[in-house]
C-alpha cells in the first residue's frame, strides 16, 4: 500500500528504485587474551592494519577529488592519530588482541567525544567507520560498505561515512536515504556534489524492507513507499518538466526583470573546477582551502605548494570573481600543528580566524601565497576570514592582508550572530560580507549542525535565521558594499529567491545546484522575491516560512 514518509531533503532530484541496505557494521571482536610474548607481534598487526586503512582512505580521496578528498584525508589522519595508536599499544601490552585493542581504544575515544558535549557527534560516524575498517582488516572479513548490485537501486543506511559517499556510482545508486545526519552533514554535502537525490534524518529508514520500491524526492524530503501508477507518473512528469526548464535556463543569474544575482560555485580544490565551469558558474564564492592542510606531514604546506594550487583555480575564471576563505581549522577540522587538543568545547573555542591570529606565520604564508598566485591574472580575487565575531577581528584580518601585500578585496564571513547584528561596524574594516548559513544557524540556535535530531533547528528556513540574513544585507546596503551567501541555504532554489528578496547580492553553492537556482530566479521578479522574503520572515516556523514563500512565488 502506498504510504508517504518525511525526512529532510538535502539534494535535488527524484529517484525511483528498489531498496538496498548498507552492509552491516563489523561485529565486536571477542575479548580474547594473549600471552605477553605475542604482544609485539599483535602491535605490529595493528599498525599494519591502521596504515593500510589510512592508505585506502587517501586513495579513495584521490579518486573522488574535491571536497571529498579533504574529508577522507581527515579520516586517514584520524586512523593514525598518535594518541589513539598509543592507547592501542597499551591495551595490547596488557593482553588484548590487535582487533580488541583497536576496538576498545576507539570506544574510549568515542566516549570522550560524547562527554565533550557532542559537538563532534557528526564525526562519530566517521570514527566508527575508521574503526570498522581497521577491525575488518584484522579479522579478515569484508569491509562494511555499499552493496554489490548490477541493477540501479536506492541506498538505505543508518548514516553514510564519507569513504562510502565519496565513491558512490550515480549510475547505480539512484539516490540514498539515511536515518541520521543533517542538512549540513558530510553525507548531505557530498550528495549535492555528486548530484544524487538524497534524504536524511528519516526516522525508521532502516525498517524499509530490502527490495521495496520507493520514490525519493530530494527537494521536499518526501519518501513514497510502493508508489502506485498515478504517483509514479506524476513524479516522472515532474522530472521531465524540471529537466526541460533547466535546459532552457542559461547565462548569468538574474530575476525575470533583470536584477542580477551572480551565481558562484563552492569548491574544495582544483578538482572541483571543471564541474563549476560546466555548470556555468560566474566565479567561485567559497574556495575552501583546508584540503591543502589535511595531509600527514603535521605541518602547514609550503608557500610554493599553496601558490600552485591557488593559481590553478584562479586561472579557470579569467575576469571572474574568486572568493577564497583562508584556513578554517578547529572544531570538527582539527589540525595538530594549529589547534589545541584539549578544548572542552571546540565549537566555542579557538577555531577559524582565532586560530590563525594565534599563529600569524601560517596566516602570513597563506596570504602571501594568494597574492603571488594572482599576479598577472585578470581574475578578481577576494579573500575572507572565517569566524569573525566583531570589528576587532575584522581589523586584525584586514591588517594582516595589507601586511602581506594583498591587493585583493578582503572580507568577513558572517557565521556568528554578533557579526550579523554588528555588520555595519565590521564593514568599516572590510569590503564585503559572506554569510555561512550552516554555522550561523548552529550558533543562533545552539544546535550542532551534525546532529540529525536537531535538524529542525538547522533548517535554513527558520525565520530567526532569515532575520539575521536580512540584518547583514541591510548593513551591507547601508555601507554600499556587497553581502553574499555561501552556505548550503543558497542551493535551495526557492530559498535562493527569498535570499535575493532579503537583499543578498550573490549566491554560492555546489555546482550541481547552479542550474536549479538559475532557473528559479529567472521565473520571478525582484518584487516577487521581496514579497516572498517578507512572508517568510512573518512566519513562526521553518515549515510555515517555506509554505508562505512558495505561495507568494506560485501566485496562490
Cα separation, 170 vs 346, in Å, equals: 35
Distances (CA, A) of 202 to 4, 14, 121, 342, 479: 11, 16, 17, 34, 43
d(CA 253, CA 260): 6
Give the residue carrying C-alpha cell 566555542. Answer: 348
Beta strand extents in 242-294 (DSSP E only): 263-267, 283-288
**Strands 173-178, 153-157: pairing kind:** parallel
Note whether 518 and 466 are within 8 A (CB): no
- How open is the CA angle 173-176-181, to the nearest 5 degrees? 145
Is residue 401 among the annotated active site residues? no
246 burial level (CB within 10 Å; 0-12, 13-18, 19+): middle
Please report which residue ranges of 285-436 form alpha helices under DSSP H. 303-315, 353-358, 360-374, 391-403, 417-421, 423-426
The rounded distance, in Å, linking the Cα atoms of 159 and 132 is 14
Those residues whose C-beta lies under 8 Å from the C-beta of residue 229, and which sit 6 or more positions away, are none
CB-CB contact of 30 with 188 (8 Å):
no
Catalytic residue among 12, 186, 359, 524: 186
Dist CA 352 CA 83 (whole Å): 24
The CA distance from 329 to 310, in Å, is 18
> 359 catalytic, yes or no?
no
Round to whole Å and give the CA distance between 496 and 315.
28
Please report the DSSP string for 404-469 in residue order: TT--SEEEEEE-SHHHHHTHHHHTTT-SEEEE-HHHHHHHHHT--TT-GGGHHHH-TT-HHHHHHH
**How many Cα atoms are found within 13 Å in the side-chain-facing hemisphere of 224?**
20
- The C-alpha atoms of residue 495 and residue 441 are separated, in whole angstroms, by 15
Q: How many CB atoms lie within 10 A of CB 423?
A: 25
Q: Which of 401, 483, 486, 529 is catalytic?
A: 486
Q: Among 485, 392, 471, which Cα is nearest to 424's?
A: 471
What amino acid positions are annotated as catalytic residues? 186, 486
Amino acid at each position: 500500500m502506498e504510504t508517504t514518509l518525511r525526512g529532510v531533503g538535502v539534494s535535488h532530484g527524484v529517484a525511483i528504485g528498489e531498496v538496498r541496505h548498507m552492509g552491516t557494521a563489523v561485529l565486536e571482536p571477542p575479548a580474547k587474551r594473549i600471552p605477553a610474548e605475542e604482544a609485539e607481534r599483535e602491535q605490529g598487526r595493528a599498525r599494519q592494519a591502521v596504515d593500510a586503512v589510512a592508505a585506502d582512505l587517501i586513495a579513495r580521496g584521490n579518486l573522488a577529488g574535491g571536497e571529498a578528498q579533504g574529508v577522507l584525508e581527515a579520516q586517514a589522519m584520524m586512523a593514525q592519530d598518535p594518541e589513539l595508536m598509543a592507547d592501542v599499544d597499551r591495551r595490547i601490552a596488557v593482553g588484548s588482541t590487535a582487533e580488541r585493542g583497536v576496538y576498545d581504544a576507539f570506544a574510549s575515544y568515542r566516549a570522550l567525544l560524547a562527554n565533550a558535549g557532542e559537538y563532534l557527534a557528526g564525526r562519530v560516524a566517521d570514527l566508527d567507520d575508521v574503526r570498522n575498517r581497521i577491525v575488518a582488516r584484522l579479522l579478515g572479513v569484508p569491509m562494511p560498505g555499499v552493496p554489490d548490485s548490477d541493477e540501479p537501486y536506492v541506498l538505505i543506511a543508518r548514516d553514510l561515512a564519507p569513504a562510502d559517499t565519496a565513491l558512490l556510482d550515480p549510475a547505480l545508486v539512484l539516490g540514498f536515504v539515511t536515518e541520521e545526519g543533517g542538512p549540513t552533514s558530510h553525507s548531505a554535502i557530498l550528495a549535492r556534489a555528486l548530484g544524487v537525490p538524497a534524504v536524511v534524518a528519516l526516522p525508521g529508514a532502516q525498517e524499509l524492507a530490502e527490495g521495496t520500491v520507493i520514490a525519493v524526492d530530494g527537494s521536499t524530503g518526501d519518501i513514497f513507499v510502493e508508489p502506485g501508477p498515478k504517483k509514479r507518473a506524476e513524479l516522472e512528469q515532474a522530472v521531465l518538466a524540471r529537466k526541460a526548464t533547466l535546459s532552457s535556463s542559461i547565462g548569468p543569474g538574474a530575476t525575470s526583470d533583470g536584477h542580477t544575482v551572480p551565481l558562484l560555485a563552492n569548491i574544495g580544490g582544483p578538482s572541483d573546477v571543471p564541474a563549476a565551469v560546466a555548470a556555468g558558474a560566474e566565479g567561485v564564492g567559497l574556495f575552501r582551502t583546508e584540503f591543502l592542510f589535511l595531509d600527514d606531514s603535521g605541518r602547514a604546506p609550503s608557500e610554493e605548494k599553496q601558490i600552485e594550487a591557488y593559481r590553478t583555480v584562479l586561472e579557470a575564471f579569467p575576469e571572474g570573481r574568486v572568493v577564497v576563505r583562508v584556513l578554517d581549522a578547529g572544531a570538527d577540522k582539527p589540525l595538530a600543528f594549529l589547534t589545541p587538543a584539549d578544548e572542552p568545547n571546540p565549537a566555542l573555542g579557538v577555531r577559524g580566524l582565532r586560530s590563525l591570529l594565534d599563529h600569524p606565520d601560517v596566516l602570513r604564508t597563506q596570504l602571501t601565497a594568494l597574492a603571488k598566485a594572482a599576479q598577472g591574472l585578470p581574475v578578481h580575487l577576494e579573500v575572507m576570514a572565517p569566524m569573525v565575531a566583531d570589528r576587532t577581528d575584522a581589523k586584525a584580518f584586514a591588517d594582516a592582508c595589507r601586511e602581506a601585500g594583498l591587493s585583493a578585496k578582503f572580507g568577513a564571513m558572517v557565521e556568528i550572530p554578533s557579526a550579523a547584528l554588528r555588520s555595519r561596524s565590521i564593514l568599516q574594516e572590510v569590503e564585503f560580507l559572506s554569510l555561512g548559513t550552516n554555522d550561523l544557524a548552529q550558533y543562533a540556535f545552539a544546535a550542532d549542525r551534525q546532529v540529525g535530531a536537531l535538524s529542525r533547528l538547522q533548517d535554513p528556513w527558520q525565520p530567526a535565521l532569515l532575520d539575521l540574513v536580512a540584518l547583514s544585507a541591510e548593513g551591507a546596503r547601508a555601507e554600499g558594499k556587497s553581502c553574499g551567501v555561501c552556505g548550503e541555504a543558497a542551493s535551495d532554489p526557492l530559498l535562493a529567491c527569498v535570499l535575493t528578496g532579503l537583499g543578498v547580492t550573490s549566491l554560492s553553492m555546489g555546482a550541481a545546484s547552479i542550474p536549479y537556482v538559475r532557473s528559479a530566479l529567472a521565473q520571478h521578479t525582484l518584487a516577487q522575491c521581496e514579497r516572498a522574503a517578507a512572508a517568510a520572515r512573518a512566519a513562526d516556523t521553518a515549515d510555515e516560512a517555506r509554505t508562505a514563500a512558495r505561495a507568494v512565488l506560485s501566485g496562490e
